Amino acid sequence: MEKHTEELIHKNEPKSAVKLMFFIIIFFIFLLFFLHGLINKTPLYSFLKEMPHETL
């Protein structure tokens, strides 16, 4: 009986790991879009965007 439940737990582990990874990826994408939206509104971002062209 104990062995059987252990097998079930091991079978369910990858699924929960995939769900967690999926959630983290979605969260990071959302965060990136959110930060990108915030940065675009500030003049500092456009200033930084212009700089590399001048230095290169």
Q: Write down the domain spans for the chain.
A: 2-55
| Whether pLDDT at 46 is above 60 | yes
Which secondary-structure segment (H or E) carries 39? helix 2-41
User: Which residue did the predictor score with more confidence, 34 or 30?
Assistant: 30
| Whether pLDDT at 53 is above 60 | no
CA distance 2 to 10: 12
For 17-54, give one letter per residue: b (16+ CB within 10 A) or e. eeeeeeeeeeeeeeeeeeeeeeeeeeeeeeeeeeeeee
- Tell me, what's the pLDDT at 15? 82
Portion of the chain with pLDDT greater than 90, in percent: 16
